[in-house]
Structure 1
Amino acid sequence: MAVTVTDENEVEAEVDTDVEPATEASEDAVEEQAAEEDVTPERRPRKWLWRSLIGVLIAALLGASGFLGWQLWQQHQVTTAAHDAQDTAVRYAQVLTSIDSNNVDQNFTEVLNGATGEFKDMYSQSSAQLRQLLVDNKAAAHGVVIDSAVQSASKDKVVVLLFVDQTVANKAAPDPRVDRSRIKMTMEKVDGTWRTSKVQLA
């Protein structure tokens, strides 16, 4: 608005016709704000696309980490099974290769307690004949595991290789001699306990 003085007592007001309507001013303000916020119609789809890609990436990472975690847990279970079965196989091999003709019944009981499946059936069937043979020959043996290694392993079945030195004496050969054997022993988990299901001379 411009003010013009035409006389001492008169003041003439002139309207500035250059002033834009209020609605146009408000539209300009909105456009300026949109420009400042960088939210133009062209950029909106890009922002949506980036957000979608980030969401997909996060979901993929979470899925991959979950799968890797599951794999690590499975591997941990197999590693633990291999370790426990190997320890049991070492102890059992020493029981199996240590026999005293004066204490045969206890020896057989210990062997059968640690056996299962095929090996338990075979040992049970031959135990009577084996017992008489040991008693008649006054046989004695003492086994020591020199070394052992896991050949294969799963959560419920482990194959162990054992290197055993067995000192043997009997009525015909009272002076002890050392027999060296390599035994392949299959261990199976039965009701939470590792037992021997197969014994082979390797």
Structure 2
Amino acid sequence: MTIHTADDPAGDDPTPCSPALDDTLDVGTDKGAGGAGADSEDPEVVDGKHQRDTSRAWRNRMPPQRLALVMGSVAAVTMGALTSWLGFQTHQAHQASEQRQQFVQVGRQGALNLTTIDWQHADVDVKRILDSATGTFYDEFSQRSQPFIDVVNKVKSKSVGTITEAGLESHSRDTAQVLVAVSVKTTVGDGPEQEPRAWRMRVTVQKVGNDAKVADVEFVV
């Protein structure tokens, strides 16, 4: 061992660190870095692992019978909702079909009323026409009804209509156009029965409350 005095220039050199101290510092640094890397984990990985563990534990805790009951309840609710929806759709389709049939029936009857008039009870026949009419058609026919009755009585006219064909041309929620083909036989006074005449009508039918009535009549070729 060499001892330097205060006058020795070599005494200004710093005393090198002890190998044991160096080892202690190195070990502490490595442990700090390595410890931080080993102890930290990605939060998303931890959260996903927690959820999987929780789900697995829930399944393990629920008895098979209870799980089957829950799944059965869910299936029953789903089937109930589907059945209700299908029932509603079926009801709507049924109502629409009934309304179309009603439109056609009213159109047929309207054309039949207009072409079946007997002078011996013309007033009753005209009343039947008015009872099944509405709107503009009702207003116009009611104004002409009495002159029409007078002419029928004067010539002793009798006509009988027969519906040969009828169908729905178009329709909306409250209105429809019905095409009707009619064969009409007519006699005047004591004369012979005339040859049947074929008429075609476009009858406009309109909803009036729960009923439907004739709102317009147009003769078509």
Give the TM-score normalised by the residue count of structure 1: 0.64
CA distance in 1, matches of 2:100, 2:155: 38
Q: How does 1:18-37 map to 2 (within 5 A)?
A: none
CA distance in 2, matches of 1:80, 1:95: 22
Q: How does 1:7-46 map to 2 (within 5 A)?
A: 40-41=49-50
CA distance in 2, matches of 1:172, 1:80: 44
Tell me if the contact between 2:166 and 2:181 (Cα under 8 Å) persists in the aligned partners: yes
Partner residue in 1 for 2:175:
157
CA distance in 2, matches of 1:112, 1:76: 30
Structure 2 unaligned regions, length at least 5: 1-47, 57-79
Partner residue in 1 for 2:101:
83
Deviation at 1:159, TM superposition (A): 1.6
Instruction: Calculate the aligned-residue CA RMSD, in Å.
Output: 3.2
What letter is aligned with 1:100?
Answer: D
Q: How does 1:3-152 map to 2 (within 5 A)?
A: 40-41=49-50, 73-152=91-170
What letter is aligned with 1:132?
Answer: D
| Cα distance, 1:84–1:124 mapped onto 2, change above 3 Å | same
Tell me if the contact between 1:169 and 1:177 (Cα under 8 Å) persists in the aligned partners: no
Q: How does 1:177-188 map to 2 (within 5 A)?
A: 177-188=195-206
CA distance in 1, matches of 2:116, 2:167: 21
Report the structure, 1 or 2, having the larger strand content.
Answer: 1
Deviation at 1:130, TM superposition (A): 1.1
What letter is aligned with 2:49?
Answer: T
Structure 1 unaligned regions, length at least 5: 1-38, 48-61
Deviation at 1:197, TM superposition (A): 0.6
Tell me if the contact between 1:102 and 1:135 (Cα under 8 Å) persists in the aligned partners: yes
- Alignment of 1:200 with 2:209, yes or no, is no
Over alpha carbons, which structure has the higher Rg? 2
CA distance in 2, matches of 1:87, 1:76: 17
| Cα distance, 1:78–1:153 mapped onto 2, change above 3 Å | farther
Deviation at 1:108, TM superposition (A): 0.7
CA distance in 2, matches of 1:117, 1:160: 17
Tell me if the contact between 1:94 and 1:143 (Cα under 8 Å) persists in the aligned partners: yes
| Percent of aligned pairs sharing the same letter | 24
Q: What is the SS of the residue equivalent to 2:203?
A: strand
Deviation at 1:132, TM superposition (A): 1.4
Deviation at 1:43, TM superposition (A): 5.3
Report the structure, 1 or 2, having the larger helix content.
Answer: 2
Deviates more, 1:126-135 or 1:75-84: 75-84
Partner residue in 2 for 1:14:
none
What letter is aligned with 1:145?
Answer: I
Deviation at 1:100, TM superposition (A): 0.6
Tell me if the contact between 2:162 and 2:183 (Cα under 8 Å) persists in the aligned partners: yes
CA distance in 2, matches of 1:108, 1:179: 21
Tell me if the contact between 1:98 and 1:143 (Cα under 8 Å) persists in the aligned partners: yes
Deviation at 1:154, TM superposition (A): 3.0
Tell me if the contact between 1:81 and 1:156 (Cα under 8 Å) persists in the aligned partners: no
